[in-house]
Structure 1
Amino acid sequence: MSRILVVDDEEAVRALVARGLSLDGHDCLTAADGAEALDILIAEKGRFDLLLTDIRMPLMDGIALALAAKQEFPDLTIMLMTGYAEQRERAKSLEAIVSEVMTKPFAIADLRATVMRVIERSIG
């Protein structure tokens, strides 16, 4: 179906999200932080249908990753996840480049539905 890069510094969350999205046939690669994700994006020449990243992470947070990824790959669709209200507020300034912000904790069914909607919007 779609190729998704899942980025979260919490291994359990990263694995759960990737596994849940794989149920819909998505091909998911994972990264533990923004720096690793940017390396993957560059190595793969941005060939992802969606970058799904947590906001609060060490080294390079999700907002810095979103800005760098969009600059390098302007057509990349980006979705953010966060469990922190102040991070959600920071993300509001990125409405032009971020398709959606999911608030943690979320049900995997809600995430799957939102990802499908975001991908469908980006295609159509």
Structure 2
Amino acid sequence: MARILLAEDDPSVRGFVARALEMDGHAVLATEDGGLAAEAMLEHEGNFDLLLSDIKMPVMDGIALALRVADQFPDVTILLMTGFADQRERAHGLDALVHDVVPKPFTLADIRAKVKEALDGREAETITLAQQLEA
């Protein structure tokens, strides 16, 4: 399945999301802040299908992380999470870079569905690009 980099500062949410995604067969590397996630992205040379990040975190927030990842590794799909309405509004300014913003709190089914949607969108873009290259 997919390789997912998870950035979430709340240990209970981080564990919940990681387990949910692993149930679907995904390989998840979980980090506790945006700075560590940025380091992991570089260390793994962008070899992730999805970055799933909280927006409000210490060290580096999810918006700064999304901007950095989109600049350095444009093929990585980005999905953000937040429980703060003002943070959600900040993320909507990044529509071209971010697949979606998942509002917290969410259920197990919610996060699994949003990740599936983001990954399905990634696959559709890859197929379309491959079709264009063949033409």
Provide TM-score, normalisation by structure 1: 0.98
Residues 1:83 and 2:114 aligned together: no
TM-superposed CA distance for 1:68, in Å, is 0.5
The RMSD of aligned alpha carbons is 0.5
Q: Match of 1:108?
A: 108
Give 1 or 2: higher helix fraction.
2
Matched AA of 1:51: L
Runs of 4+ in 1 over 6 A off after TM superposition: none
Structure 2: how far apart are the matches of 1:30 and 1:87? 21
TM-superposed CA distance for 1:114, in Å, is 1.1
Structure 2: how far apart are the matches of 1:122 and 1:36? 24
Q: Match of 2:46?
A: 46
Runs of 5+ unmatched residues, structure 2: 125-135
Larger of the two Rg values belongs to structure = 2
TM-superposed CA distance for 1:110, in Å, is 1.0
Give the aligned length. 124
Which string of whole-angstrom CA distances, capped at 9 and with x for unpartnered residues, describes residues 39-77 of structure 1? 000000000010000000011000000001111101110
Structure 2: how far apart are the matches of 1:104 and 1:98? 17
Matched AA of 2:70: K
Provide TM-score, normalisation by structure 2: 0.91
